[in-house]
Chain A
Amino acid sequence: MDIVMECKDVTYSYPLTKKPAIKNLNLKLERGKFYGVIGENGSGKTTLCALLRGFAPSFYKGELQGEVLLEGKNINEYGGEIAAKIGFVFQNPFTQISGIKDTVFEEVSYGLENFGVPAEKIEKRVIDVMKMTNIETLAEKSPFELSGGQMQRVALASVIVLEPDILIIDEPTSQLDPEGTESVFSIIETLKEKKKTIILVEHKIDLIAEYADEVLVFKEGTMIAFRRKQEILSDLSFLEQGVTLPQVAILGRKLQERGLGLSAIPVTEKQAVEVIAEALQERNK
């Protein structure tokens, strides 16, 4: 097992609060896997992202017990260089532009300029990423004039261009329309194909079901489950924990209760079509 990140007995409280936002967290993340993080609002998902990126406690302050390790080394020891290893995308697309660049091309180039990448290499890398994120037509537009979906794609491009091995993405589609959501997830799918380690917080459970390898469930600051997505998303007992499960999983359970012998509880639309068709064929034999 190639462990890329690890949380050892992590408990973290924000400043001026008594209740920890994350309690007794022990977690090992493997390189190249896609992790979906789910849970109710205020369950600690965003705090987990801040801890994994090192923003907590270095930026937010507060009290941290335990340690967060990146490739075996404490995350706070990396300093500014951590930006090259971990990419971070937030939920609000409108605060994710640098605020000092006139065009989308310059905005996407900004990180590479900070990294000191030679000018002649920057343009090619930026063009490739703009093509991948489908923003090449916006290259000469002002970042301030973009729609939410376009801005989120620019934010993703600005992080992807740095080629980090790990990407932490915190509810990237919470403020986007269905079209914007789809375009953002098509980018995430490409990143998955490139074997990046992805930690994605997302309320849209169908998208987690579609893309994640493993799922982490949080409740009131505690990680209550961390297993393969199939096991978690088909377990209706999580409904009592306030977790939203895919509609197809609930349908599958109900069909099973009605006597339709499904070989597995589906968690995606594609799986549902397959297992239900299979069960119906069995029944009609």
Chain B
Amino acid sequence: MEKSYTEKIQIHKANKLAGLHPATKFLVVILYSVCTFVLSSIKLTKIGLPLAIIPWFLVVLVLCAVSGAMKKCIKALKAVAFIALVIFLVQTFIVPGGEVLVRFGFIRICEKGLKTAISLSFLILNIAGIFVWFFQTTENKEIARALEESGLNYKATYVFISSLQMINVLSGNSKTIMNAQRARGVETEGNMLVRAKAFFPTLVPLVLGALIGSEERVLTLEARGFSMEGKKTHLFNLEKSGAEGTMKITAILVTVLIVIGRAALWIL
């Protein structure tokens, strides 16, 4: 028998980790971030480098792989890694202070620079990485439903989700505007300066268009009973993968162990 439309819009995930309830995933994200901060405060080696957060990133990779979303995650992780690398290089070579560790002619790496570089770049890599896992394994409507379940106001939920959806719409609109500007002789391709010059004539119609569109969208929502008081129905319902309890316990346990370990190091 053919499925009904309501059945078709439900999300069934075979993978237990990817299919976790968004609230559980979010708890993992929060605890992982806390652990990252705690680990970044552990100083290793003679000069006190925060090396513990480097292998910690493997947890993100493992989560992505076990969730079966490695392919999807890798693209976003590459972008995050690029930003982290730039920050790492800038901090390493520019921040002065402490002992000079390496010197190649005019380039030198100072103790403080290396510490900040590792700390900052891996903090970004770890925290952005865990969010990549969260967003690549959770669909927008799952997040929306979870937010409403958590008691968040439906208006706030709408703003959050429509902002996520709008990224695609605005990128499509910007391409259309870009083509229109190109047709009028504005150069949009070339070096950074040429691209920067083309950016502003694109930005103004994009932002204005979005603002004008948002007015009609508000009225559209009103026409669909957005402000209607009373209980709303939800055709889409969240499912639990069954591994929520295990995942929560594991995440809390790991966090407690890391915090205790850190405290022990501090006391000793």
Interface size on A, residues (CB 8 A): 47
- Measured between beta carbons, the chain B residues less than 8 angstroms from A102 are 9, 139-141
| Complex Cα–Cα for A164 and B189 (A) | 51
Within 8 Å of chain A (Cβ to Cβ): is B93? no
Query: Chain B: interface secondary structure?
Result: helix
- Measured between beta carbons, the chain A residues less than 8 angstroms from B236 are 106
Segment from A80-88, A190-198, A207-215, A234-242 that makes contact with B: A80-88
Other-chain residue from A88, A139, A144 in contact with B169 (beta carbon distance below 8 A): A144
B222 and A55 contacting across the interface, CB-CB below 8 Å: yes
- Measured between beta carbons, the chain A residues less than 8 angstroms from B234 are 113, 119
Which residue from chain B places its CB closest to the CB of A126 in the assembled complex?
Answer: B5
**Cβ of A35 to closest chain B Cβ, rounded Å:** 19
| Complex Cα–Cα for A92 and B217 (A) | 10
- Measured between beta carbons, the chain B residues less than 8 angstroms from A97 are 220
Which residue from chain B places its CB closest to the CB of A82 in the assembled complex?
Answer: B222
Within 8 Å of chain B (Cβ to Cβ): is A268? no
B229 and A79 contacting across the interface, CB-CB below 8 Å: yes
A105 and B9 contacting across the interface, CB-CB below 8 Å: yes
- Measured between beta carbons, the chain B residues less than 8 angstroms from A127 are 5
B221 and A123 contacting across the interface, CB-CB below 8 Å: no
- Measured between beta carbons, the chain A residues less than 8 angstroms from B233 are 112-113, 115-119, 122
| Complex Cα–Cα for A59 and B222 (A) | 10
Q: What string of 1s and 0s marks CB contacts (under 8 Å) between A79-110 and chain B?
A: 11101100111101011111111110110011
- Measured between beta carbons, the chain A residues less than 8 angstroms from B49 are none
Segment from B98-106, B160-168, B177-185, B251-259 that makes contact with A: B160-168
| Complex Cα–Cα for A88 and B165 (A) | 24
- Measured between beta carbons, the chain B residues less than 8 angstroms from A159 are 223-224
A87 and B223 contacting across the interface, CB-CB below 8 Å: yes
Within 8 Å of chain B (Cβ to Cβ): is A5? no
Which residue from chain A places its CB closest to the CB of B217 in the assembled complex?
Answer: A95
Query: Chain A: interface secondary structure?
Result: helix
A94 and B213 contacting across the interface, CB-CB below 8 Å: yes
Within 8 Å of chain A (Cβ to Cβ): is B47? no
| Complex Cα–Cα for A174 and B219 (A) | 18
Answer whether A115 and B5 are a contact pair too, CB < 8 Å, given A95-B220, A102-B141: no
| Complex Cα–Cα for A103 and B232 (A) | 19
Within 8 Å of chain B (Cβ to Cβ): is A111? yes
B224 and A139 contacting across the interface, CB-CB below 8 Å: no
**Cβ of A145 to closest chain B Cβ, rounded Å:** 10
Answer whether A80 and B225 are a contact pair too, CB < 8 Å, given A98-B220, A99-B217, A113-B233: yes
B161 and A100 contacting across the interface, CB-CB below 8 Å: yes
Within 8 Å of chain A (Cβ to Cβ): is B158? yes
A119 and B235 contacting across the interface, CB-CB below 8 Å: yes
| Complex Cα–Cα for A95 and B217 (A) | 6
Answer whether A96 and B216 are a contact pair too, CB < 8 Å, given A110-B224, A116-B230: yes
A99 and B166 contacting across the interface, CB-CB below 8 Å: yes
CB proximity to B under 8 Å, residues A114-161? 114-119, 122-123, 126-127, 139-140, 144, 155, 158-159
| Complex Cα–Cα for A179 and B247 (A) | 55
Q: Ordered nearest first, which 8 A-B pairs have the shortest CB separation?
A: A80-B227, A114-B225, A95-B216, A111-B224, A83-B225, A88-B223, A80-B228, A105-B5
B interface list, Cβ under 8 A from A = 4-6, 8-9, 139-141, 144, 158, 161-162, 165-166, 168-169, 213, 216-236
Provide 12 A-B residue pairs closer than 8 Å at the C-beta atoms, listed in order of the A residue.
A55-B222, A88-B219, A88-B223, A96-B216, A98-B217, A99-B166, A100-B161, A102-B139, A105-B9, A106-B235, A117-B233, A126-B5
Known A53-B223, A95-B217; further 9 A-B contacts with Cβ < 8 A: A80-B222, A80-B229, A81-B228, A81-B229, A98-B217, A99-B217, A119-B6, A144-B168, A162-B225
